[in-house]
Amino acid sequence: MEKRIIIVGLNHDTAPLEVREKVAFENTSLRESLKRLISLPSIEEGVILSTCNRVEVLAASAEEKAAVQDIKKFLVEQESVGDPSILDGHLYSYSDQEAVRHLFRVAASLDSMVVGEPQILGQLKEYYFAAREVGTVGTILHRLFHRSFSVAKKVRSETAIARRPVSISSVAVDLARRIFDHLEEKTVMVIGAGRMGNLVVRHLIQNGVRSLMITNRTFERAVKLAEEFHASPIRFEDYRRYLKLADVVIGSTESPQFLLGSESVTEILRERKQKAMFFIDLGNRRNNFDPRINEIDNVYLYNVDHLKDVSKENLKGREGETIKADEIVNEEVEGFVRWLESLEQVPTIVALKERFEEIRQKELEKSLSTSLKELSEKERQALEELTSSMINKILHAPLARLRTQPEKKSIYVEALKRFFNLDEK
Amino acid sequence: MDVTLLQLTAAIYLLATGSFILYLVLAKDFFSHLSPLIVLSGFLIHTAALGVYFFNTGYPAIAQFREALSFYSWLMVGVYLLVQLKYRLTVLGCFIAPLAFLMSLAAFTFGVGGGELPPTLKTYWLPLHVTLAFLGNAFFALAFGVSVMYLLNEYQLKNKKVSALLKHFPSLERLDRLNYVFLIWGFPLMTLGIITGSLWARVHWGEYWSWEPRQISSAITWILYGGLLHGRMTAGWRGKKAAFWTIVGFAVVLGYFLWGDAVFPGRHGGRFE
């Protein structure tokens, strides 16, 4: 039976954050979810991908329609979803060539909210490895994912799409790298527990930051966040005392007045012997830090607007690159689909060749033992070669057609089977 | 001195400059590997030119002004190549290659300054003094390069104009630390250069210090860099301030080296009487 590749899911484009959050899979129960997925009768191989921007189930299945239905149900049945109707109109599904193209585009970060951002590839790998560990990956998804990793690499190296960071958090990390040499040795202080702050912190950690302090007006909140990031929680009353240890300070409070003014920062800098500090103001009011601190030597202050400006600047000239990237993806999709089809054709081709060979042998034997009995060894050899080459010539065109016209493949395969009684054996 | 080899050297440094610019603009790894190799080939030819001269005359090519200039650029490029080997600081070449080109160009176009060295001065005091002083200045040239890079980078970061051109610049922290490393090498070498110079002056002219223009400019640079190092070590001077004063110090060095003798004639310009 032939296997199809199926993707069902939703992303930042088709569903708002509230919906995506509800469908998202918990990391802690991913193994159970995968096992549940593979236990569905229509699913033969499966991988779950769940990031803040997308939730997708990738599967290999012999029954496309049943599989799509099963996966939809699988997504809806998550406890967190509650009302199943919230997914209406948000889900998309792709199969075969389109599914392959979709995954390749996702891996190459062409389908990302921020095109070219590099995290998605890492996330894809994580989810693939998790599925492989649980044992829900077979030949097809294995090959599909590995192909997608190399497509991503190719797009990265042959286009400028990922050359410059564009998401707010990757811009922040990039700036930190321009200021500091080894992020591994730097200390980050986070003031406030805003969502944006968490994102930047996560990104900094991914890029090597190990030492992290978190403070919040509600201390419990700081403790909880600190646990998540393996950071040290700090009481809000005390954080100023620790500021001199921080190289990067992220403010994500919505404080009505400045948390830190110019004088205090000057003082802190003196205490740290003028070692550079990078302040990131992620508050909507841009009011965490006095803007004047940017004028102090060795102090750099960026707020959300500045980060966005840098991001916009980096985005310029990227449009042409996405076209180039899509061309690469298309080429790769073709190659993959060809492989997928060859999987299915092989039995038919082998059977067809065997059938012809069988006929040839039979007829040859018959003739050689009767009418052509007198032939010399040399002549027999020539006859052998002649018949072999005839069969190869006859088979050449139909086999080539099978390989090059995938869209008509199923008709051809069916016709061949019937014409030559290939199923009889 | 073999002018053909010098011209070839200058041409290669020009080529290297072009390659470094391509590296900055195109951001292709190919040029980051190629450019230092071009510099290296220029350096080898330059070394050959100096070697041939030494072999023929039995004395290093440093007595005349143009020779000194060429010798200085040779040392500077040599130090750069060592630094490149240790720190992989390819972008620094964007400053060193054009500087080396201009100096080697000047070395065979400037005919001025520097008469024949009187035989009495052909002692090994001269190469010793010149090599130490120039080595110190070679490190200052590198410190100058990283300081210019620092200021450019700092300006962009402060003003939120982060351009792709500076993408390959090392971080501010690294540039600042390199500034320190180069000063900490350059300063003692320069000090030794001044000391050997004074001793030689004592031996030959009978006085340690004669308030020569060159000596005065050296003293200014020495005090400047000494003060800067002291500030760095004790008061946490770093960053922009350090970069600025490094550039000022090097401007004094280079300014005197290129034009000083024309304005303030002295023994260092070749009037050895």
Over residues A335-360, the pLDDT tens digits come to: 898 888 777 666 777 788 888 888 99
* pLDDT at B263 (0 to 100): 59
How close is the nearest chain A Cα to the Cα of B146, in Å? 14
Asked whether the predicted pLDDT for residue A161 surpasses 70, the reply is yes
* pLDDT at A248 (0 to 100): 95
Mean pLDDT of A129-139: 92
Residues B89, B145: contact at Cβ < 8 Å? no
Q: Which of B16, B246, B214, B233 is nearest to B134 (CA)?
A: B214
Question: Is A52 designated active site?
Answer: yes
* pLDDT at A214 (0 to 100): 93
Confidence of residue A63 (pLDDT cuts 50, 70, 90): confident
B233 touches A: beta carbon within 8 Å: no
Burial class from Cβ neighbours inside 10 Å (0-12, 13-18, 19+) for residue A127 reads buried
A-B Cβ pairs (cutoff 8 Å, strict):
53
Residue of A nearest to B240 (CA): A297
Q: Which residue's structure tokens are 């321009």?
A: A178
Residue of B nearest to A165 (CA): B164
Name every residue whose Cβ is closer than 8 Å to that of residue B178 and which is 6 or more positions away in sequence: B87, B89, B142, B143, B146, B170
Which candidate from A273, A297, A302 shows the least CB-CB separation from B160?
Answer: A302
Q: How far is the C-alpha of A101 from the C-alpha of A120, rounded, in Å?
A: 16
How close is the nearest chain A Cα to the Cα of B162, in Å? 7
Token readout for A361 is 């042998």
Q: For residue A268, which residues of chain B lie inside 8 Å, CB to CB?
A: none
Residue of B nearest to A300 (CA): B158
Q: How far is the C-alpha of A251 from the C-alpha of A259, rounded, in Å?
A: 8
Confidence of residue A180 (pLDDT cuts 50, 70, 90): very high
Q: Which residue's structure tokens are 């603009």?
A: B25
Task: Look up the ipTM and state it.
Answer: 0.84
Asked whether the predicted pLDDT for residue A124 surpasses 90, the reply is yes
- Catalytic residue from among A52, A160, A179, A343: A52
* Inter-chain residue contact A179 with B172, CB threshold 8 Å: yes
Mutate to test the interface with B, among A274, A305, A310, A318 (most CBs of B within 10 A): A274
Hey, what long-range contacts does A143-149 have (CB within 8 A, 24 or more apart)?
A143/A336, A143/A339, A144/A5, A144/A58, A144/A100, A144/A103, A144/A336, A145/A47, A145/A103, A147/A104, A147/A332, A147/A336, A148/A103, A148/A104, A148/A106, A148/A107, A148/A124, A149/A107, A149/A121, A149/A124, A149/A125
* Inter-chain residue contact B171 with A181, CB threshold 8 Å: yes
Measured in residues, chain B has a length of: 273
- Identify each DSSP E strand in A143-216 by its residue range: 187-191, 211-216
* pLDDT at B265 (0 to 100): 58
B174 touches A: beta carbon within 8 Å: yes
Which candidate from B166, B173, B237 shows the least CB-CB separation from A276?
Answer: B173
Q: For residue A170, which residues of chain B lie inside 8 Å, CB to CB?
A: none
Residue of B nearest to A293 (CA): B158
Q: For residue A298, which residues of chain B lie inside 8 Å, CB to CB?
A: 238-240
Residues B228, B246: contact at Cβ < 8 Å? yes
* pLDDT at A129 (0 to 100): 94
Q: For residue B169, which residues of chain A lie inside 8 Å, CB to CB?
A: 178
Mean pLDDT of A322-347: 83
Mutate to test the interface with A, among B160, B166, B179, B245 (most CBs of A within 10 A): B160
Mutate to test the interface with A, among B172, B233, B234 (most CBs of A within 10 A): B172
Q: What is the pLDDT along chain B (273 residues), one digit of tens a residue?
A: 567 788 888 899 999 999 988 888 877 778 888 899 999 999 999 999 888 888 887 778 777 777 888 888 999 999 999 998 888 888 888 889 998 998 888 877 765 444 556 666 677 888 888 889 889 989 999 999 999 999 999 999 999 887 777 777 889 999 999 999 999 999 999 999 989 988 888 887 778 877 777 788 888 889 999 999 998 888 778 889 899 999 999 888 887 776 666 555 556 655 444
Looking at residue A260, the DSSP 8-state letter turns out to be B
More confident residue, B165 or A259: A259
Q: For residue A174, which residues of chain B lie inside 8 Å, CB to CB?
A: 162
* pLDDT at B106 (0 to 100): 80
How close is the nearest chain A Cα to the Cα of B91, in Å? 14
pLDDT, chain A, mean: 87
Confidence of residue A287 (pLDDT cuts 50, 70, 90): confident
Token readout for B224 is 């400047």
Asked whether the predicted pLDDT for residue A62 surpasses 90, the reply is no
Looking at residue A113, the DSSP 8-state letter turns out to be S
Burial class from Cβ neighbours inside 10 Å (0-12, 13-18, 19+) for residue A1 reads exposed
Asked whether the predicted pLDDT for residue A315 surpasses 80, the reply is no
| pTM of the predicted model as reported, rounded to 2 decimal places | 0.66
Distance of CA A236 to the CA centre of its chain: 39
Whole-angstrom CA distances from B44 to A2, A29, A160, A313 are 66, 64, 37, 43
Backbone angles phi, psi at A290, to 5 degrees: -60, 125
Which candidate from A177, A275, A298 shows the least CB-CB separation from B171?
Answer: A177
* pLDDT at A319 (0 to 100): 67
Which candidate from B160, B167, B237 shows the least CB-CB separation from A306?
Answer: B160
Q: For residue A276, which residues of chain B lie inside 8 Å, CB to CB?
A: 172-173, 239
Q: How far is the C-alpha of A65 from the C-alpha of B32, rounded, in Å?
A: 54
Which candidate from A164, A179, A309 shows the least CB-CB separation from B173?
Answer: A179
Distance of CA A192 to the CA centre of its chain: 31
